[in-house]
Structure 1
């Protein structure tokens, strides 16, 4: 089990990118969240089996057909116990 925090920049807001990530993460039974930042970037936390997280990271780097990924920062962070789903944060 691993958990990563990502900061994704490019054309990632207003193009369905968070919903794309949520769909793909849920399909892979991963947990975490995606949220828009005031900077125009998207922050993503992903948790789950390492091989499934790697699969999602590949999909995120490609983006959906409307997004464009210009930069991608990733860092491993501690596991969050009892997290049950992947969701979109609106805070």
Structure 2
């Protein structure tokens, strides 16, 4: 299992980015969350098998058609306790 924090910059708030992210996470069987940050970025916590995480990160670089992704930062996290769902916060 792999757990990462994904910080997505660009036009990613107010364009249903978190909802599309939740749908894509379910598609890849990823657990975690997505939330808007005060600085305009979206923070995603994602936990799954490494192959699924890589596919999900690749999608995050494009995002939904309504968004414009300028930058994606990946931070590896410790896999401490297993997450049970993917939530929008």
- Asked if these proteins are the same fold (TM beyond 0.5), I'd say yes
Distance 2:80 2:19 in 1: 22
The count of residues paired between Structure 1 and Structure 2 equals 89
8 A contact 2:60–2:72 mirrored in 1: no
> TM-score, normalising length from structure 2?
0.95
Q: Structure 2 unaligned runs (5+)?
A: none
Runs of 4+ deviating beyond 2 Å: none
Distance 2:48 2:21 in 1: 14
Matched residue SS, 1:62: coil
The structural deviation recorded for 1:15 is: 0.3
| Alignment match, 1:15 | 15
- State the Cα RMSD in Å: 0.9
